[in-house]
Protein backbone atom coordinates (compact mmCIF):
# COMPACT_ATOMS: atom_id res chain seq x y z
CA UNK A 1 0.00 0.00 0.00
CA UNK A 2 1.19 3.50 -0.81
CA UNK A 3 1.22 5.38 2.47
CA UNK A 4 0.14 8.99 2.61
CA UNK A 5 0.27 10.51 6.07
CA UNK A 6 -1.14 13.77 4.81
CA UNK A 7 -4.89 13.72 5.38
CA UNK A 8 -7.01 16.61 4.04
CA UNK A 9 -8.01 19.31 6.52
CA UNK A 10 -11.49 18.36 7.68
CA UNK A 11 -11.66 20.99 10.47
CA UNK A 12 -14.44 19.97 12.90
CA UNK A 13 -16.37 17.68 10.56
CA UNK A 14 -17.08 14.02 11.29
CA UNK A 15 -17.16 11.39 8.55
CA UNK A 16 -19.37 8.28 8.92
CA UNK A 17 -19.52 5.43 6.39
CA UNK A 18 -22.10 2.64 6.18
CA UNK A 19 -20.90 -0.69 4.79
CA UNK A 20 -22.26 -4.20 4.26
CA UNK A 21 -23.32 -6.80 1.74
CA UNK A 22 -26.40 -6.54 -0.46
CA UNK A 23 -29.73 -6.19 1.34
CA UNK A 24 -28.26 -5.54 4.79
CA UNK A 25 -30.20 -2.30 5.27
CA UNK A 26 -27.35 0.21 5.13
CA UNK A 27 -29.18 2.63 2.82
CA UNK A 28 -32.20 2.64 5.14
CA UNK A 29 -30.09 3.09 8.26
CA UNK A 30 -27.98 5.86 6.75
CA UNK A 31 -31.16 7.81 5.95
CA UNK A 32 -32.56 7.26 9.45
CA UNK A 33 -29.34 8.51 11.02
CA UNK A 34 -29.25 11.56 8.78
CA UNK A 35 -32.81 12.49 9.68
CA UNK A 36 -32.20 12.04 13.41
CA UNK A 37 -29.11 14.21 13.37
CA UNK A 38 -30.97 16.94 11.52
CA UNK A 39 -33.82 16.81 14.04
CA UNK A 40 -31.20 17.28 16.77
CA UNK A 41 -29.94 20.37 14.99
CA UNK A 42 -26.65 18.76 13.99
CA UNK A 43 -25.62 19.89 10.49
CA UNK A 44 -25.24 16.78 8.35
CA UNK A 45 -25.06 15.63 4.77
CA UNK A 46 -26.00 12.27 3.25
CA UNK A 47 -24.34 10.96 0.11
CA UNK A 48 -23.63 7.62 -1.55
CA UNK A 49 -21.23 5.63 -3.68
CA UNK A 50 -21.06 5.37 -6.55
CA UNK A 51 -22.93 8.61 -7.11
CA UNK A 52 -23.44 11.86 -5.26
CA UNK A 53 -22.29 14.04 -8.18
CA UNK A 54 -23.34 14.43 -11.80
CA UNK A 55 -20.36 12.36 -12.94
CA UNK A 56 -20.83 9.85 -10.14
CA UNK A 57 -24.48 9.27 -11.01
CA UNK A 58 -23.57 8.56 -14.62
CA UNK A 59 -20.87 6.14 -13.54
CA UNK A 60 -23.29 4.51 -11.07
CA UNK A 61 -25.70 3.69 -13.86
CA UNK A 62 -22.86 2.31 -15.98
CA UNK A 63 -21.26 0.14 -13.30
CA UNK A 64 -24.57 -1.11 -11.88
CA UNK A 65 -26.52 -1.64 -15.10
CA UNK A 66 -23.85 -1.88 -17.79
CA UNK A 67 -22.98 -5.07 -19.62
CA UNK A 68 -19.72 -6.94 -19.30
CA UNK A 69 -17.15 -4.94 -17.30
CA UNK A 70 -13.77 -6.35 -16.34
CA UNK A 71 -12.81 -6.25 -12.64
CA UNK A 72 -9.98 -3.86 -13.48
CA UNK A 73 -12.29 -1.43 -15.30
CA UNK A 74 -14.81 -1.78 -12.48
CA UNK A 75 -12.16 -0.77 -9.95
CA UNK A 76 -11.21 2.32 -11.94
CA UNK A 77 -14.83 3.39 -12.48
CA UNK A 78 -15.60 3.24 -8.77
CA UNK A 79 -12.53 5.28 -7.93
CA UNK A 80 -13.30 7.87 -10.61
CA UNK A 81 -16.69 8.38 -8.98
CA UNK A 82 -15.06 8.47 -5.53
CA UNK A 83 -12.46 11.07 -6.49
CA UNK A 84 -15.17 13.42 -7.77
CA UNK A 85 -17.33 12.87 -4.68
CA UNK A 86 -14.52 13.52 -2.21
CA UNK A 87 -13.40 16.77 -3.82
CA UNK A 88 -16.80 18.14 -4.83
CA UNK A 89 -18.98 17.07 -1.88
CA UNK A 90 -17.33 15.40 1.12
CA UNK A 91 -14.32 17.63 1.79
CA UNK A 92 -16.27 20.92 1.49
CA UNK A 93 -18.93 19.61 3.89
CA UNK A 94 -16.34 18.44 6.41
CA UNK A 95 -14.59 21.81 6.18
CA UNK A 96 -17.92 23.40 7.17
CA UNK A 97 -18.01 21.22 10.27
CA UNK A 98 -20.83 18.94 9.09
CA UNK A 99 -21.37 15.29 9.88
CA UNK A 100 -21.02 13.57 6.50
CA UNK A 101 -22.75 10.19 6.10
CA UNK A 102 -21.82 8.09 3.08
CA UNK A 103 -23.63 4.96 1.93
CA UNK A 104 -20.42 3.08 1.00
CA UNK A 105 -16.84 4.32 0.61
CA UNK A 106 -13.47 2.72 -0.10
CA UNK A 107 -14.04 -0.36 2.15
CA UNK A 108 -16.61 -1.47 -0.44
CA UNK A 109 -13.92 -1.55 -3.11
CA UNK A 110 -11.62 -3.60 -0.92
CA UNK A 111 -14.46 -6.02 -0.16
CA UNK A 112 -16.02 -6.34 -3.62
CA UNK A 113 -13.13 -5.90 -6.04
CA UNK A 114 -10.52 -7.30 -3.63
CA UNK A 115 -12.04 -10.19 -1.71
CA UNK A 116 -14.88 -10.72 -4.19
CA UNK A 117 -13.17 -10.27 -7.58
CA UNK A 118 -9.71 -11.30 -6.44
CA UNK A 119 -7.81 -8.16 -7.47
CA UNK A 120 -4.59 -7.44 -5.58
CA UNK A 121 -5.20 -5.59 -2.33
CA UNK A 122 -2.10 -3.39 -2.63
CA UNK A 123 -3.23 -2.08 -6.01
CA UNK A 124 -6.72 -1.37 -4.69
CA UNK A 125 -5.36 0.38 -1.61
CA UNK A 126 -3.07 2.57 -3.71
CA UNK A 127 -5.92 3.62 -6.01
CA UNK A 128 -8.24 4.24 -3.07
CA UNK A 129 -5.57 6.40 -1.43
CA UNK A 130 -5.15 8.41 -4.62
CA UNK A 131 -8.90 8.86 -5.20
CA UNK A 132 -9.62 9.94 -1.61
CA UNK A 133 -6.53 12.14 -1.25
CA UNK A 134 -5.85 10.24 1.97
CA UNK A 135 -9.28 10.89 3.55
CA UNK A 136 -10.28 8.28 6.15
CA UNK A 137 -13.70 7.85 7.80
CA UNK A 138 -13.95 8.62 11.51
CA UNK A 139 -16.43 5.77 11.90
CA UNK A 140 -17.39 2.79 9.72
CA UNK A 141 -20.71 1.11 10.52
CA UNK A 142 -20.84 -2.48 9.31
CA UNK A 143 -24.28 -4.08 9.10
CA UNK A 144 -23.37 -7.74 9.07
CA UNK A 145 -25.75 -10.27 7.53
CA UNK A 146 -25.47 -13.73 5.99
CA UNK A 147 -25.09 -13.22 2.25
CA UNK A 148 -27.98 -15.39 1.11
CA UNK A 149 -30.45 -13.74 3.48
CA UNK A 150 -29.51 -10.29 2.24
CA UNK A 151 -29.87 -11.32 -1.38
CA UNK A 152 -33.30 -12.81 -0.66
CA UNK A 153 -34.50 -9.29 0.14
CA UNK A 154 -33.78 -8.21 -3.43
CA UNK A 155 -36.43 -9.10 -6.05
CA UNK A 156 -34.79 -10.88 -8.98
CA UNK A 157 -36.59 -8.57 -11.42
CA UNK A 158 -34.70 -5.48 -10.23
CA UNK A 159 -31.26 -6.88 -9.37
CA UNK A 160 -28.15 -5.09 -10.63
CA UNK A 161 -24.84 -6.61 -11.80
CA UNK A 162 -23.61 -7.25 -8.27
CA UNK A 163 -26.86 -8.62 -6.90
CA UNK A 164 -26.91 -11.12 -9.76
CA UNK A 165 -23.56 -12.60 -8.71
CA UNK A 166 -23.44 -16.09 -7.19
CA UNK A 167 -23.82 -16.48 -3.44
CA UNK A 168 -20.16 -17.54 -3.18
CA UNK A 169 -19.09 -14.10 -4.41
CA UNK A 170 -21.13 -12.36 -1.71
CA UNK A 171 -19.81 -14.72 0.94
CA UNK A 172 -16.28 -13.63 0.01
CA UNK A 173 -17.36 -10.00 0.23
CA UNK A 174 -18.81 -10.56 3.71
CA UNK A 175 -15.61 -12.26 4.83
CA UNK A 176 -13.65 -9.29 3.54
CA UNK A 177 -15.68 -6.88 5.64
CA UNK A 178 -15.24 -9.04 8.73
CA UNK A 179 -11.47 -9.19 8.19
CA UNK A 180 -11.16 -5.43 7.75
CA UNK A 181 -13.24 -4.74 10.85
CA UNK A 182 -11.17 -7.17 12.91
CA UNK A 183 -7.95 -5.35 12.07
CA UNK A 184 -9.29 -1.84 12.72
CA UNK A 185 -11.77 -2.31 15.56
CA UNK A 186 -11.46 1.27 16.84
CA UNK A 187 -12.87 2.70 13.62
CA UNK A 188 -15.43 -0.01 12.84
CA UNK A 189 -18.77 -0.50 14.63
CA UNK A 190 -20.31 -3.89 13.83
CA UNK A 191 -24.01 -4.65 14.18
CA UNK A 192 -26.05 -7.77 13.52
CA UNK A 193 -28.28 -6.66 10.65
CA UNK A 194 -30.85 -9.35 11.48
CA UNK A 195 -32.11 -7.32 14.44
CA UNK A 196 -35.21 -5.14 14.42
CA UNK A 197 -34.72 -2.05 12.27
CA UNK A 198 -35.64 0.35 15.07
CA UNK A 199 -33.27 -1.36 17.50
CA UNK A 200 -30.43 -1.11 14.98
CA UNK A 201 -31.17 2.58 14.40
CA UNK A 202 -31.20 3.25 18.14
CA UNK A 203 -27.85 1.55 18.69
CA UNK A 204 -26.29 3.40 15.76
CA UNK A 205 -27.56 6.75 16.95
CA UNK A 206 -26.33 6.14 20.49
CA UNK A 207 -22.85 5.18 19.32
CA UNK A 208 -22.62 8.11 16.90
CA UNK A 209 -23.64 10.59 19.62
CA UNK A 210 -21.08 9.05 21.99
CA UNK A 211 -18.29 9.43 19.44
CA UNK A 212 -19.34 12.98 18.60
CA UNK A 213 -19.21 13.88 22.28
CA UNK A 214 -15.76 12.35 22.57
CA UNK A 215 -14.67 14.41 19.58
CA UNK A 216 -15.69 17.59 21.38
pLDDT digits (tens, 9 = 90+) for 110-141: 999 999 999 999 999 999 999 999 999 999 99
Residue of higher predicted confidence among 185 and 191: 191
Contacts of residues 67-72 at CB distance under 8 Å and 24 or more positions apart, as own/partner, are: 69/161, 71/113, 71/117, 71/118, 71/119, 72/119
pLDDT bin (cut points 50, 70, 90) of residue 6 is very low
- pTM of the predicted protein model: 0.92
Tell me the percentage of the chain whose pLDDT exceeds 90: 82
Among the listed residues 167, 197, 174, the one whose alpha carbon sits nearest the alpha carbon of residue 182: 174
User: Cα separation of 52 and 86, whole Å?
Assistant: 10
Q: What is the mean pLDDT of residues 177-185?
A: 94
Report the pLDDT value the prediction gives residue 2, as an integer from 0 to 100.
39
pLDDT bin (cut points 50, 70, 90) of residue 8 is low
DSSP3 helix / strand / coil % (the chain, rounded to 5): 55, 10, 35
Which option is the CATH number for 14-215: 3.40.50.300, 3.40.630.10, 3.40.47.10, 3.30.420.40?
3.40.50.300
Amino acid sequence: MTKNNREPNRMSGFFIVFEGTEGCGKSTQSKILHNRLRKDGIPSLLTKEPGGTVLGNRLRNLVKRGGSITPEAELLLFNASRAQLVKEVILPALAEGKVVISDRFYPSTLAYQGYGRGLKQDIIEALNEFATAGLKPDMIILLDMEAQKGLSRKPSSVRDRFEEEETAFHQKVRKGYQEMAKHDSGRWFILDANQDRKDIASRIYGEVKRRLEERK
